[in-house]
Amino acid sequence: MERHLGPGRGRPALDIGSGDGNLARHLHHEIGYRTTGADCSPSALALAAALDSRPGPAWRYFDVTADDHSALPDPAYALITCRLVYRWMDDKPAFLSRVRRLLVPGGTFWVVNEVTGRRTTTDPALLGLGINPVEAEILTAGWSVVRTADIDVLRCYALHP
């Protein structure tokens, strides 16, 4: 991740679907971004805040598919991350359009998602967690730079406008 993103240098980052906040804390403390963790689950945000052992990311209740982005602390972000969330977006083109509007010129959209067919299981619930080739094409279309890295069943995408 650090190889694709470089040092944060205090630039703003937004972690969409931050859950327990592990990625947001990593971006903030280890890479040096000024990070906001955003989630539409109050219990996830409460857990993230409870796990903070030192001052770090800001936590915001935010539904990226519906809420006005003016509720976020920054008008645009150098980095937007989305770990294990893209698969759940019903309207992927609309979601991606919103992300593009929130990125600064030259920013990075970092997406981590499971790839369909990589998991060695017969459990249909687990087999459906990945994104298929059509969803991957929707994700990567229209970006000037697309870089990927695979980790086991996951694929990481570094997308630049």
Residue pLDDT, tens place only, 33-91: 999 999 999 999 999 999 988 999 999 999 999 999 998 999 999 999 999 999 999 99
Residue 3 has pLDDT above 90, yes or no: no
pLDDT bin (cut points 50, 70, 90) of residue 121 is confident
Q: Please tell me the pTM assigned to this model.
A: 0.93
The sign one gets for the Cα dihedral 85, 88, 92, 97 is negative
pLDDT by residue (tens digit) across 5-35? Answer: 889 999 999 999 999 999 999 999 999 999 9
